[in-house]
């Protein structure tokens, strides 16, 4: 985000370099817009007055994600916070998460293969390999991962199948691939972490072949659970989740980035905390 103000804030994990943020959907400055009721100062959750997109401001700089706030460390501290805030529902959600992980991994690889032609499939934010490892023999797994340790592990695994993992931010990583290189893509629990979601989607559209499919899974800010449980909703993660999508805001951003959007009959159920969409390059 060129031109955004940078400063440092203190967190329980140490000092974190951050930058202020314009609306990631419509680029409104929103400097004077106050944080809404779900904010945890200094982390504000703003609703853009111009386009209603819900987002975190400020956001940690990328280098902080590799260091003080590395995913492994901040996950641990978030888990501790949640366990102390609501022990019973937390344990239950861990059980559901474990179950969902088993289904989720298999499903996203299957879904993207069912909806794409055989070829190169990229997993954005692939961690140590994740669901791309269960792609069938018609697919070559590729990944982009910002954590260097995880990217090295994924690269070794993907290389054994003719692919590779790029250690970079999603935007930089995608820029290193030629036009129409990928037949399909996966974004599972990724887009809510991305500081530049619209730029990444636009760049992803360039690297996909026409009609190439992207399977997206993100928390659904419009879910019934968020409305009922309020600030205790499991979709809030500070400062990891920087975008809070609804069916409308995800659809609009994807369309403006060059995709058609399909949630299908089960992709956006109000009682589910997450939503699934298939984006198809126009
Ligand atoms: Zn906006």
Which residue did the predictor score with more confidence, 106 or 245? 245
- Residue range 64-86: mean pLDDT, rounded: 65
For residue 53, how far is its CA from the centre of ligand 1 (angstroms)? 5
pLDDT per position as a tens digit, 114-149: 999 999 999 999 999 999 999 999 999 999 999 999
Dihedral sign computed on CA atoms, order 51, 69, 167, 159: negative
CATH number, position 159 = 3.40.50.150
Q: Whole domain around residue 46: which residue ranges?
A: 6-65
Per the domain annotation, does 72 fall within a domain? Answer: no
Task: Report the separation in Å between the CA atom of 118 and the middle of ligand 1, taken as the mean of its atom positions.
Answer: 37
Q: What is the CA(31)–ligand 1 centre distance, in A? A: 12
Residue 27 Cα to ligand 1 midpoint, Å, equals 6
Q: Is 39 left (phi over 0), alpha (psi -120 to 50) or beta?
A: beta
> What is the tens place of the pLDDT at every residue in 34-58?
999 999 999 999 999 999 999 999 9
Mean pLDDT, residues 256-266: 96
Distance 172 CA to ligand 1 centre (A): 24
Please tell me the distance between residue 82's alpha carbon and the centre of ligand 1 in angstroms.
Answer: 30
* pLDDT, mean of residues 5-17: 86
Task: Say yes or no: 137 and 272 in one domain.
Answer: yes
User: Residue 16's pLDDT is what?
Assistant: 87
Domain membership flag for residue 102: yes
Per-residue pLDDT tens over the stretch 80-100: 766 666 555 555 555 555 544
CA of 24 to the centre of ligand 1 (A): 7
pLDDT reported for residue 12? 81
Q: Answer whether residue 259 is part of any domain.
A: yes
The closest alpha carbon to 108, from 237, 271, 274, 276, belongs to: 276
Report the domain count for the chain: 2
Query: In terms of domains, do 54 and 189 share one?
Result: no
40 and 100 in a single domain? The answer is no
Chain-wide mean pLDDT for the chain? 89
pTM: 0.87
Evaluate whether residue 74 is within a structural domain: no
The Å distance, Cα 177 to ligand 1 centre, comes to: 29
Bridge partner residues of 144 (DSSP) = 124, 166
Q: What is the pLDDT of residues 202-232, one digit of tens each?
A: 999 999 999 999 999 999 999 999 999 999 9
Q: Is residue 73 part of a domain?
A: no
Residue pair 121/186 in contact by the 8 Å Cβ criterion: yes
Predicted pLDDT of residue 119? 98
For residue 279, give both structure tokens. Answer: 């984006």
71 within a domain of the structure (yes/no): no
187 CA from centroid of ligand 1 (Å)? 22
**The two structure tokens encoding residue 225:** 């659970």
CB 187 within 8 A of CB 243: no
How far does residue 48's CA lie from ligand 1's centre (Å)?
5
98 or 190: whose pLDDT is higher? 190
Same domain, 17 and 104: no
In terms of domains, do 118 and 48 share one? no
**Range with the lowest mean pLDDT among 4-8, 35-39, 194-198, 231-235?**
4-8
Ligand 1 centroid–CA 55 distance in Å is: 9
Q: Which of 62-71, 113-122, 192-201 has the lowest mean pLDDT?
A: 62-71
Q: Is the pLDDT of residue 103 over 50?
A: no
Helices (H), 49-208: 62-66, 71-85, 87-115, 148-159, 170-175, 197-207
Tell whether 132 and 270 lie within a shared domain.
Answer: yes
Is the same domain home to 86 and 219?
yes
Q: Is residue 1 part of a domain?
A: no
Percent of the chain with pLDDT over 70: 84
């Amino acid at each position: 985000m060129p031109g955004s103000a940078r400063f440092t804030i203190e967190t329980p994990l140490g000092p974190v370099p951050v930058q202020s943020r314009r609306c990631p959907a419509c680029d409104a400055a929103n400097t004077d817009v106050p944080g809404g009721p779900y904010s945890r100062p200094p982390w504000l959750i703003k609703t853009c007055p111009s386009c209603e997109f819900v987002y975190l401001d400020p956001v940690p700089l990328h280098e902080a994600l590799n260091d003080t706030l590395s995913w492994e460390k901040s996950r641990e501290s978030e888990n501790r916070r949640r366990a102390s805030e609501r022990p019973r529902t937390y344990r239950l959600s861990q059980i559901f998460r474990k179950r969902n992980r088993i289904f989720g991994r298999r499903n996203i690889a299957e879904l993207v293969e069912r909806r794409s032609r055989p070829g190169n499939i990229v997993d954005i934010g692939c961690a140590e390999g994740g669901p791309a490892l269960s792609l069938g023999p018609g697919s070559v797994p590729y990944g982009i991962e910002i954590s260097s340790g995880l990217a090295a592990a994924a690269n070794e695994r993907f290389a054994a199948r003719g692919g590779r993992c790029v250690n970079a931010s999603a935007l930089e990583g995608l820029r290193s691939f030629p036009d129409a290189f990928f037949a399909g893509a996966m974004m599972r629990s990724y887009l809510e972490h991305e500081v530049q979601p619209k730029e990444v989607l636009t760049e992803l559209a360039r690297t996909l072949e026409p009609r190439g499919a992207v399977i997206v899974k993100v928390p659904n800010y419009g879910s019934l659970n968020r409305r009922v449980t309020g600030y205790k909703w499991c979709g809030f993660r500070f400062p990891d989740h920087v975008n809070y999508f609804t069916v409308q805001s995800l659809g609009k951003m994807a369309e403006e980035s060059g995709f058609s959007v399909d949630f299908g009959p089960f992709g956006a159920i109000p009682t589910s905390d997450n939503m699934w969409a298939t984006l198809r390059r126009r």
